[in-house]
Amino acid sequence: MTALSLRGIRKSFGAVEVIKGIDLDIDSGEFVVFVGPSGCGKSTLLRIISGLEQATSGDTVFDEEVVNDHTPFERGVAMVFQSYALYPHMTVAENLGFPLKLAKADPQEIAAKVKAAADILQLGPLLDRKPDQLSGGQKQRVAMGRTIVRSPRIFLFDEPLSNLDADLRIEMRLEIEKLHKRLDATMIYVTHDQVEAMTLADRIVVLRDGSVEQMGPPLDLYENPVNTFVASFLGSPRINFLNVELLDSDASSCKLLLADGSHVTAPFSAGTASVGEKMKLGVRPEDLSASGGDFSIPFRMEIHERLGPTSYLYGRSGADSIVAEYRERGAVTPATLTTLGVNSAHAHLFDANGLSVRNRQERVS
């Protein structure tokens, strides 16, 4: 188990700076997930941690030791790739044992460690097969097994589940979670899938354009996003943004002008925002309801999507498109539903720059 620190990491490819100064401390045994859209630098950051890529400046520190010049092997990292990156000409057993063979380990020791890893991941019956005789999920298991045999200091996962179908993805996600519990190892996981991030992470690091937007435990980020980017990245379906104008604000409430001209009074402060400012009101689909709520917004329903226990209502509020979760069983028509109630305790107000107005009233518990 190893703690990791990144200090002022920057990385440029030619004139393009892809990592723009990242500072990050990861505790020993922590499961940290890097999320962000394609091109945000999350994979590059992982490759810098692994030692496959050199940072242009800044330090990578493993347990107080600067490892900038260490090879991936010297750092003692193991990595699972999106493409699995198994050696196609070797059997499963040889794939698992390859790092040990390179380290000139005793064949008996290799066999024992390969067997132990195979047992953990139920790879026993597959040991003599070649990768092209394995299914996607099995390949993924082998790739994970190859990381285990090394007993690495840090496990790195680069979008490991992206090539799997939905069922397997859930299964392997649980597998990775079990592995983390079992090994109690430091793991860093890169994904663009917010569900994986929410379910796996002790802590999520949201990246955009090579900078950290926000980091913290999944629910913290979900409940208190610092800006519209983080708010819209986490949660599915995505958070709704209503374009509003601030009419009035005091310490405990604010008056907002909705796009359709109606006013609402929300029970939280707009902080330092000035009257007349164009703002965005962020409300998650589950905080909208057909009845109740602290205030209502107009709603013109377009589609009712039934998923079983819950269903989603798609429509518009003024010019803003809206998704609302609908938990009741009965049918709903545009005629019967013309407003949605907002649970304001979980609503977020963002200023013109997309930054959260943090001085909200304390959440009513």
Partner 1 sequence: MRGQKRFAWLMAAPSILAMVALGIVPLVWMVWTAFQSFSPNPRIPPRFSGLDNLGNLVGDPQFVGSLKITILVLIAALILQLVLGFILALALYSIKRARGLVVSLILIPTAIAPIVAGIVWWMLFNTRFGAINSVLFQWFGIDPVNWTIEMPTAYIAIVVAVVWQWTPFVAVILLGGLTTIPRDTLDAARIDGATAWQRLRYIVLPLMRPFFLVVGLLMIIEIVRLYELPFYITQGGPGNQTVVAGVFLFKLAFSFFDLGRASMMSVFLVIALSMIAALYMRLVADHKNKGASG
Contacts of 158 (CB under 8 A, 6+ apart): 43, 46, 47, 79, 80, 81, 82, 190
Check: CB of residue 243 under 8 Å from CB of residue 329: no
CB of 85 to partner 1, least distance (A): 4
The span from the CA of 132 to the CA of 109, in Å, is 27
Going by C-alpha positions, the residue among 149, 17, 148, 140 that lies closest to residue 84 is 140
Shortest distance in whole angstroms from residue 146 CB to partner 1 = 7
* Long-range residue pairs from 316-321, CB within 8 A, at least 24 positions apart, any chain: 317/242, 317/258, 317/259, 317/260, 318/242, 318/243, 318/258, 318/259, 318/260, 319/243, 319/259, 320/240, 320/241, 320/242, 320/243, 320/259, 321/240
Q: Specify the residue, 176 or 323, whose C-beta has the smaller distance to partner 1.
A: 176
Least distance CB 88 / partner 1 (angstroms) = 7
Positions that interact with partner 1 (CB under 8 A) = 50, 52, 71-73, 77-79, 81-91, 94, 98-99, 102-103, 146, 150
CB of 79: closest distance to partner 1 in angstroms? 5
Smallest separation, CB 43 to partner 1 (Å): 11
| Shortest distance (Å) from residue 73 CB to partner 1 | 4
Cα–Cα distance between 115 and 109 in angstroms, integer?
Answer: 10
Q: Which is nearer to partner 1, 189 or 241 (CB)?
A: 189
User: Closer to partner 1 at the Cβ: 151 or 310?
Assistant: 151
Nearer to partner 1, 143 or 204 (CB): 143
**Burial (CB count within 10 angstroms: exposed 0-12, middle 13-18, buried 19+), residue 336:** exposed
Q: Give whichever of 70 and 316 is closer to partner 1, judged by the CB atom.
A: 70
Query: Between 91 and 232, whose beta carbon lies closer to partner 1?
Result: 91
